[in-house]
Chain A
Amino acid sequence: MALEVDIRRQLQGFMLDVSFSAQAGVTALLGASGSGKSMTLRCIAGVERPDEGRIALDGRVLFDSAAGIDLPPQKRRVGYLFQRYALFPNMTVLQNIGTGLSLERDRPLRRRKLEDLIGRFQLGGLEARYPRELSGGQMQRVALCRMLAAEPEAILLDEPFAALDSFLRWQLEREVRRTLSEFPGVALLVSHDRGEVYRMSGRVCVLAGGRSEPVEETGRLFDRPRTLQSALITGCKNVAAAEWIGPCTVSVPDWGVRLTCAEPDGRAVTHVGVRAHFIRPCAPDAENAVRCRVADVTDDVFSRVLTLLPDGGAATIRAELGKAESDGFAVGDEVTFSMPPDAVMLLGDAADGDAAQS
């Protein structure tokens, strides 16, 4: 069970150049809006056409520009969950789900399959409703059910929760997670939401500026992003240019500091990143201590965000502290913060990270 994708397509303003392979289970494509994630999914489903490249599912070639192969979407057996569900407005719930079974000629078998699906997705009683009479959650369930009715070998989910508010979102996410865990094939999830990706996927491929980075385990990507792009997309608030000056030490001119780091892996490093919630007030002689002036204090919902200007540095640093822990701080205070060696993430470019992995 594997989906191999290696495609290029010219888009407005940039070149989409994506290459990855996904195994059974959930793989996420994580990237900012407009990074080409949805286009990648559409090319895999066959509703858009790459300029060149190759797409194969379990060894079955879906698209190969060199060999002149371009299977129509109807023959690819790839399911697609659309962002706004794309339920057919003129059909009832039952008819919508039935479209996924339109190839099933055996009528009694078709009816049995439909009944089974209705039961599995708890849509009993809604069969005769039209999409506009459904809640957001019900619409999503119908869309999932319709997609799986066609018995796809791989499924693609395009920002499935983007249109929902956060309370409903959590519930639906659980439902979708459960459905995905029962799906035996490759599931590809497109999202720009790092939390969603972290909770739902086992592996991640970061897409930045139209280019894909090597697929990584989700936990590892969030713990130890290897590139500037993946650090930013996983939500790292502090990044700055850096260079090695010792076996375990980098110099960060923008912050006016030298930082000791935990792993002396010696690979080429262009930047360092430190997540905002790992930066803590400390004694002046602590490891990786940075003397800063507080430039701004912003109350967030459950935390307080401090904007710090390091002595001898040019760029500000963001620290996120608990409310109790940060009670005394005011704009203009001189404080010492530390960036623990564990928390210093060394960032290079993707190709180099790839080499270091192998």
Chain B
Amino acid sequence: MANLWEILKALDYSPLWISLKTGIVATVLCFFLGIWAARAVMRMGKRAKAVVDGLLTLPMVLPPTVAGFFLLLIFSLRRPVGTFLYATFSIKVVQSWLGCIVAAGVIAFPLMYRNARAAFEQVDIELLYAGRTLGMSERRIFWRVVLPSAGPGVVSGTILTFARALGEYGATSMLAGNIAGKTGTISQRIAMVIQNGDYATAGVWVAVILVISFAIVVLMNVFADRKLKNVRKW
């Protein structure tokens, strides 16, 4: 017990803040991008839909290291896009916190997009028709009718996106690296201390991520349950 106290006292807590910040920012970005992509894909023709949906889903089925490879191909400072971003806007994605967000966002995006789309497709089309004949603008119909009706699916998509972004390892380690206090996330810290044989510290971080993930999922479930009372359930 005394040993655990020693460990906690000596622990560098930066991975916790970095992971939480990354998870939250990536989730917010994915939330809007995912919803936007879901709407856009729903409006496409059959063929285009199949192809674009495939592309958007790829990060979910590929090993994260493959996504990391492509991200490096784009953002590396030795590549045109990376050079351009750095030279023109001083934006550096590799070896930076921005890289954490991009990596976690890309990997978690399909969860948001797919859940949102599935939820929107469940919404009774007559509700959209009703909104239109009542003179509501398409934007208003989306935010006031479609999104609330699709609520449970969108909420679960957001939960999964956050959980995935919080724990992302593969693509992050390749793109952002593991710089302590800057890009060192919890999952990277666990891998690092395990390599040094420090199971006690690894265990602490495992416990931290377990508790956070579980608490958030439970909290949001409770919230979703209360908020969506007016939607009929099975």
Which A residues lie at the B interface, using CB under 8 A?
42, 45-47, 72-74, 76, 78-80, 82, 84, 86-91, 99-100, 102-103, 130, 132, 146-147, 149-150, 152
Contacts and interface: CB of A to CB of B under 8 A. Distances in A.
A150 to B, nearest CB: 5
Contacts of A149: 134
Given A80-B133, A82-B126, A90 B232 contact: no
Nearest to B125: A47
A76 B129 CA distance: 13
Contacts of B137: 74
19 contacts: A45-B129, A45-B133, A46-B132, A47-B132, A72-B132, A73-B129, A74-B137, A82-B126, A82-B129, A82-B130, A88-B127, A89-B232, A90-B151, A90-B231, A100-B135, A102-B140, A103-B135, A130-B230, A150-B133
Contacts of B133: 45-47, 73-74, 76, 78-80, 147, 150, 152
B12 interface: no
Given A102-B140, A130-B230, A132-B230, A86 B127 contact: yes
Given A76-B133, A99-B144, A102-B136, 12 more contacts: A45-B132, A46-B133, A74-B133, A80-B129, A80-B133, A82-B129, A86-B126, A89-B230, A100-B134, A102-B140, A147-B133, A149-B134
A125 B233 CA distance: 25
Contact of B132 (A73, A130, A132, A146): A73
A120 B140 CA distance: 27
B130 A88 contact: yes
Interface string B140-157: 100011001101000000
A147 B127 CA distance: 13
Contacts of A150: 133-135
Contacts of B136: 74, 99, 102
Contacts of A103: 135
A90 B145 contact: yes
B82 to A, nearest CB: 44
A78 B145 CA distance: 20
Contacts of A88: 127, 130-131, 144-145, 149
A152 B134 CA distance: 9
B121 interface: no
Contacts of B151: 90
A129 to B, nearest CB: 10
- Size category of the B interface is 20 to 34
B149 A90 contact: yes
Contacts of B140: 102
B124 interface: yes
A199 B128 CA distance: 31
Nearest to A78: B133
B19 to A, nearest CB: 34
B119 to A, nearest CB: 13
Contacts of B129: 42, 45, 47, 73, 80, 82, 86
Please give me the 5 A-B residue pairs with the lowest Cβ-Cβ distance, nearest first. A90-B148, A73-B132, A86-B130, A86-B126, A80-B133
A172 B223 CA distance: 39
Contacts of B127: 86, 88
B231 A89 contact: yes
Contacts of A86: 124, 126-127, 129-130
A72 B133 CA distance: 9
Contacts of B230: 89-90, 130, 132
Nearest to B127: A86
A73 B134 CA distance: 8
A64 B1 CA distance: 81
Contact of A80 (B124, B130, B145, B149): B130
Q: Determine which residue in B134, B144, B148 has the highest number of CB atoms from chain A within 10 A of its CB, and name it.
A: B134
Contacts of B231: 89-90
A358 B136 CA distance: 44
A161 to B, nearest CB: 17
Q: Determine which residue in B130, B136, B148, B151 has the highest number of CB atoms from chain A within 10 A of its CB, and name it.
A: B130
A266 B211 CA distance: 90
B145 to A, nearest CB: 5
A53 to B, nearest CB: 20
Q: Determine which residue in A86, A132, A146 has the highest number of CB atoms from chain B within 10 A of its CB, and name it.
A: A86
A89 B124 CA distance: 11
Nearest to B123: A89
Nearest to A45: B133
Contacts of A87: 130
